[in-house]
Amino acid sequence: MTTRRTFLALSGGVAALAACREPQAVAAPPHVPDLVLADSGRGLVRLTGTESRPLGAAAALSRDGTIAYVAGETGLTRVYAATGAPVHSTEIGGGWVPRVVAEAGNVCVLTRTAHAEPPAARTTSPLLVVADQPLQKYNLPGVVEPDAFTSDGAGLFVLEWLPAAQPDHYRVRLLDLATGQLQPLLTRDKVPVPAGAEEEMRGSGRQAVLSGDRKVLYTLYTHQPDHQHTRNLLHGTRNDVHAFVHVLHLEQRWAYCLDLPDPFGHGLPEGHALAADATHLAVLDAASGSIAFASAASLAIEKVARIPALAAAGHLALGRGRAYAACGTDVHVVDRASGRVTARWSLADPVTGLRLSRDGKRLYAGGRDRVAWLDASSGSLLGRVPVEGLTALRHVG
């Protein structure tokens, strides 16, 4: 799913349940135990060990964090994120901006403009697809923005913004890279959506994460009170939800909307957060203190857990048997089986982002000009590293 997260200040001090004294700062030089990729004023930055290395000011990262494409003056370089080493370079000419990377890491799509929601009005949308084969250029009518590749790299899911003269909503469509034609998606029953039944959505509160098996893209939408799903349009029913998760199967090419119960979608977009793993997806609404857990197999809500409500930015991470929900200065640890809060860790300043290490032992948090990591079991501060101009914590591996 594309992000508008606003990163604030993060303190290194942590307490468990009851307030206690802030631990002392970790001695320099910091040693980052995992691969961390973050956006900053210098562009995409790679952190690992004692190394802090900018990968490029104009770069696109695969959602699994393995491959980055970095644009230079006239060339595009594919970089292996684990080592920072270049893998392949291609001459593309100037003026192109990397936007979306296929999950296989071998294809990247570029546009002439950077991401914006809503995008500026225009009559045509040039796209450049770079793979191991010759470059493919497309000039699509209207306002079309890339969103995700199909699993086989033969198709590109795009957002077709409407109306082109004043874009304020869009529908998700599929660009066949062989023919250059735009097509409707499939329903969950794998039947093409008929004309007039394609869903139209607004970008408000839009967040996207990839499933654990990298086959499904989940996109959270909030503030959608007038939205009608394809199933409503086909059967003449009415939908009154304010928030849902758009489920896009990158391999089978179908889409489905998982409705979220009230009061999801009523609070501020930045108070909502989305996380997913191989078996579940979860959505946090900080304003109501609600966390909805859904099965990735059935696409049905299984339970709604409760934490203290707070009008603040929300952040969410899923670990083994646990969920970590950050609202304001607190991180709530929730048992996924029971939905009960088992711990609360308090920070001196608002939390601004959460990512778990691959082994689930460390919880990373982005903040103002730094990244900190905590023990995921106790909440103890393990370390922090400065990142000048940090704007987003993209990946921990």
pLDDT tens per residue, range 107-147: 999 999 999 988 999 999 999 999 977 899 999 999 999 99
Quote the pLDDT of residue 23.
46
pTM, to two decimals: 0.86
| Tens digit of each residue's pLDDT (9 = 90 or more) over 290-314 | 999 999 999 999 999 999 999 999 9
For residue 107, which amino acid is it?
V
At 18, is the pLDDT very low, low, confident or very high (cuts 50, 70, 90)?
Answer: very low
Quote the pLDDT of residue 353.
80
Partners of 97 in beta bridges: 111
Domain membership of residue 193 (yes or no) is yes
| Tens digit of each residue's pLDDT (9 = 90 or more) over 145-174 | 999 999 999 999 999 999 999 998 889 999
224 versus 325: which is more confidently predicted?
325
Residues 6+ apart with CB under 8 A from 25: 12, 384
Mean pLDDT of the chain: 86
CA atoms of 294 and 276, how far apart (whole Å): 9
Quote the pLDDT of residue 12.
40
Domain membership of residue 243 (yes or no) is yes
Domain membership of residue 264 (yes or no) is yes
Provide the phi-psi class of 107: left if phi over 0, else alpha when psi is between -120 and 50, else beta: beta
Domain membership of residue 195 (yes or no) is yes
Span 195-217, mean pLDDT? Answer: 82
Residue matched to tokens 């090419």: 253
Domain range spanning residue 361?
A: 14-396
Quote the pLDDT of residue 139.
97
| Tens digit of each residue's pLDDT (9 = 90 or more) over 260-301 | 999 998 888 899 999 999 999 999 999 999 999 999 999 999
b/e map 308-325, b = 16+ CB within 10 Å: ebbebbbbbbbbeebbbb
Quote the pLDDT of residue 134.
80
Domain membership of residue 288 (yes or no) is yes
CA atoms of 345 and 221, how far apart (whole Å): 29
Whether residue 100 is predicted with pLDDT greater than 50 in this model: the reply is: yes
Number of domains comprising the chain: 1
133 versus 22: which is more confidently predicted?
133
DSSP 348: S
203 versus 15: which is more confidently predicted?
203
Torsion angle of C-alpha atoms 252, 254, 257, 258, degrees rounded to 10:
-20
Give the best-scoring range by mean pLDDT among 23-27, 80-84, 235-239. Answer: 80-84
Collapsed DSSP state (helix, strand, coil) of residue 355: strand
Span 194-209, mean pLDDT? Answer: 77
Domain membership of residue 4 (yes or no) is no
Cβ atoms < 10 Å from Cβ of 262: 13
Residues 6+ apart with CB under 8 A from 226: none
CA atoms of 97 and 194, how far apart (whole Å): 33
Residues 6+ apart with CB under 8 A from 205: 220, 221, 222, 223, 243, 265, 269, 270, 272
Of 28-32, 61-65, 101-105, 108-112, the least confident: 28-32
Residues 6+ apart with CB under 8 A from 214: 63, 64, 103, 151, 250
Q: Are 358 and 1 in contact (CB under 8 A)?
A: no
Quote the pLDDT of residue 22.
41
Q: How many CA atoms lie within 13 A of 117 on its CB side?
A: 17
Residues 6+ apart with CB under 8 A from 8: 313, 349, 350, 352, 367, 368
- Main-chain phi, psi angles of 216, to 5 degrees: -130, 135
Own/partner pairs, 340-345, CB within 8 angstroms, 24+ separation: 340/305, 341/305, 341/306, 341/307, 343/16, 343/17, 343/379, 344/16, 344/17, 345/14, 345/15, 345/16, 345/17, 345/374, 345/379
The CATH number that applies at residue 340 is 2.130.10.10
DSSP 252: T
Q: By C-alpha distance, which of 184, 182, 200 is closest to 192?
A: 184
Domain membership of residue 8 (yes or no) is no
Domain membership of residue 139 (yes or no) is yes
CA atoms of 227 and 336, how far apart (whole Å): 30
